């Protein structure tokens, strides 16, 4: 008899990853694990018998995600809004690295800008959403193009 659910290790790794984001909290709506930021869910996880299921919002990677055999549009109409559900069955290998990237994308789609900035800082990146570029010398202005004229009247169009 196995001493743990078949996907317990993958679920634990994904849970730890998701709870590492600034402002992330864990709740159990509907009896399933939901990781939220500012009261909004950005990833759900559920062990259902011998299956493991996780859902997240993927505004950028959703189309690619749906090409994977384990991924389907999320139910309850959420699929229309970019939510994808990944279901793993016995014998399936859970691509935790890929799912961690998707959890990051989902967090960034849901979290407020202030927390995204905190996440950027947490990763050692920029604490700004905007990168300022200061040229060493100002570019020369371009010469104005002459206005086209109509053939009949010889006047500017």
pLDDT tens-place string over residues 8-30? 899 999 999 999 999 999 999 88
Both tokens of 117, joined, read 């900035």
Question: CB atoms < 10 A from the CB of 108, how many?
Answer: 19
Output the pLDDT for position 150: 59
Mean pLDDT of 121-149: 56
Residue 21 covered by a domain: yes
Tell me, yes or no, whether 136 lies in a domain.
Answer: no
Residue 152 lies in a domain: no
pLDDT in tens, 66-112: 898 988 888 776 666 678 999 999 989 999 999 999 999 999 999 99
Helices (H) and strands (E) in the chain, counts: 4, 6
Specify the higher pLDDT residue, 7 or 143.
7
Determine the Cα–Cα distance for residues 122 and 96; give it in Å rounded to an integer.
21
Q: Which neighbouring-strand residues pair with 153?
A: none
Q: In the chain, where do the E strands start and end? A: 24-27, 33-37, 40-48, 51-57, 71-73, 83-88
Q: At what angle do helices 96-110 and 8-19 cross, to 10 degrees?
A: 30
Residue numbers of the domain that contains 22: 8-122
Domain assignment present for 129: no
Write down the pLDDT at residue 29: 82
Residues 6+ apart with CB under 8 A from 85: 53, 54, 55, 71, 72, 73, 74, 75, 79
Does a structural domain hold residue 128? no
The total of structural domains in the chain comes to 1
CATH number at residue 29: 3.90.1150.30
Of 55, 144, 143, nearest to 105 by C-alpha is: 55
Within a domain: residue 154?
no
Instruction: Flag whether 108 is in a domain.
Output: yes
């Amino acid at each position: 008899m196995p001493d743990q659910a078949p996907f317990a290790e993958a679920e634990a790794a994904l849970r730890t990853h998701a709870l590492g984001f600034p402002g992330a909290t864990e709740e159990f709506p509907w009896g399933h694990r939901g990781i939220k930021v500012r009261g909004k869910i950005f990833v759900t996880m559920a062990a259902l018998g011998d299956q493991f299921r996780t859902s997240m919002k993927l505004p950028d990677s959703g189309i690619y995600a749906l090409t994977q055999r384990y991924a389907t549009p999320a139910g309850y109409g959420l699929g229309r809004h970019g939510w994808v559900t990944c279901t793993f069955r016995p014998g399936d290998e859970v691509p935790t690295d890929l799912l961690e990237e998707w959890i990051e994308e989902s967090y960034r789609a849901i979290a407020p800008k202030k927390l995204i900035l905190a996440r950027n800082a947490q990763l050692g990146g920029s604490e700004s959403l905007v990168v300022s570029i200061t040229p060493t010398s100002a570019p020369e202005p371009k010469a104005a193009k002459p206005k086209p004229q109509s053939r009949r009247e010889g006047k500017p169009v």
